[in-house]
Amino acid sequence: MRLATNPLTNSGLPARSRTFAGLAALGAALLCAQGAQAQMAGGLGAGVPGVPNGDQRIAIEGHADAAYDSNVTGGNASVASQRRLTPEDEIYSAGTNITLMLPSSRQLLFFDGQAELQRYARNSTLDANNYRLSVGAAERLGICAATLVGGYSHRETQIQQVAVATIAKNIATQDSGNADVTCGRRKIFVDISGGVSKLENSAKTSGFVDSQTVSGNVAVGYHNTVLGDLSLLGVYSDIQYGQDNLLLALDPTLPTSVPDVRQYGVGLRYARKVGLRLSGTASVFYNRIEGGFVHTQSDGLGVTASLAYRMTSRTQFTLDYNLGNNASPLSTTSYVHSEDLHLNATYNLTQRITFQAGVSHQREEYRGADQIALLQLRESDSNQIDGSINIKVGQKLTVILNAQHLERTADVRQFNYNADRVSIGLSGKF
């Protein structure tokens, strides 16, 4: 079998540009596949740093926006009081993204960096300096192709992900590395990938905990130009939590730290493109989770699906679904079982004006020990609708108008809340 090819390599680009575009697509495809497998494994994988898209050697983008949010507290008035936050606020942000690509005949080296500043008019506690860096390489070796990516990120945890009412802010710092090798001949291909990720949280005194995740995936697949690609996959991941667990020390019946959590899984992945309008991938896994607190051991399914449909030359729909497990940021839970669904529609009114609308649903379950911290979130369902208008101004600038509505219901009523957000922004490519 021939390794995945990029449609750009058959276009009218010069030979060197075709090689560059093909290597860029190769690196992105392999890392996206690895990320999907980690998600299918239940999300306990190490996390995949960003791989640049596009065929520019140097790409610089910037953005700035101003937003109004009716509730930035992540809960009702009681949570707002405990977190010492004012619900309504204006948020100002500015950021940039720089991508560098260095191609050769069979290799591609890249650097991708993002930085963003966020400032709140009334809640300076939530001010954030977020940034992410990733470096990597992609290379063809005979019938094989390989990628290696390392990443670092520093970001503020979104307020709706902070599951303890007494804390308003947590800074998560992550180091990660991922490697992937795919080899194929005729119609059979084999893919082996692995990753490691170390996550550190700043709010350890309020119930957060550090973790390290090691993951590995093996896939054997069959490629058919008519029927698509079918793969049999095996996955493994192991989470190790930090020992500095202050909340567990309050309960003598519990261990002093969260025991390691291991997950094994086998599954199938199917990918196919149907004509020029429909394409998608779907995966189903059977997972077994061991370790952690005693009553968190379980068997279950992991599912991912991604579907894109171009109804007309102006209209496109995308559907993404994920059911899996993630490492928990809290010191009293073994892992987080999550379900995410997102539907998005895009309509190009003209070459300069684009409308977008989306609907999403997220469910999270923090599985582990009994509730220890006061007002700790255990289960939640969030539903969101959003819409935006993108207006191109000239060749490089775009004005973005956005509105969204979020509703969350939780097992602890203080975490029930609604929020409306409107924003106006300007983005540019240089």
Can you give the pLDDT at residue 280?
92
205 φ, ψ to 5°?
A: -70, -10
Cα–Cα–Cα angle for 13, 53, 6, nearest 5°?
45
Q: What is the pTM of this model?
A: 0.79
Distant-in-sequence, close-in-space partners of 232: CB < 8 Å, separation ≥ 6? 219, 220, 221, 266, 267, 268
d(CA 327, CA 323): 14
Q: Which amino acid is at 4?
A: A
Query: What is the C-alpha separation between 74 and 418, in angstroms, rounded?
Result: 9
Half-sphere exposure of 329 (CA within 13 A, CB side): 25
**How far is residue 76's CA from residue 413's CA, in Å, rounded to a whole number?**
8
Q: What b/e sequence results for 12-26 when a residue is b if at least 16 CB atoms lie within 10 Å of its CB, and e otherwise?
A: eeeeeebbbbbbbbb
Cβ-proximal residues to 283 (8 Å cutoff; 6+ apart), any chain: 36, 37, 40, 233, 267, 268, 269, 270, 302, 303, 304, 305
The stretches in the chain having pLDDT less than 50 are: 1-48
Element (H, E) at 34: helix 15-40
Q: Which of 39, 34, 32 is nearest to 340 (CA)?
A: 39
Cα–Cα distance, 19 to 66 (Å, whole number): 41
Domains of the chain in sequence order: 7-429 (2.40.170)
Q: Pull the structure tokens for residue 93.
A: 């942000």
Q: Are 345 and 324 in contact (CB under 8 A)?
A: no
CA 398 to each of CA 61, 62, 376, 391, 428: distance values in angstroms, whole numbers, following the listed order: 11, 11, 41, 5, 6
Phi, psi angle pair for 161, to nearest 5°: -95, -5
d(Cα 373, Cα 120) in Å, to the nearest integer? 28
Distance CA 253, CA 247 (A): 12
| Amino acid symbol at 159 | I
For β-strands 58-69 and 417-429, DSSP reports them as: antiparallel
Q: Given this model, what pLDDT does residue 38 score?
A: 40
What per-residue confidence (pLDDT) applies to 3? Answer: 34
Which tens digit of pLDDT belongs to each residue from 162-198? 878 778 888 999 999 999 999 988 889 999 999 999 9
Both tokens of residue 123?
A: 């809640």
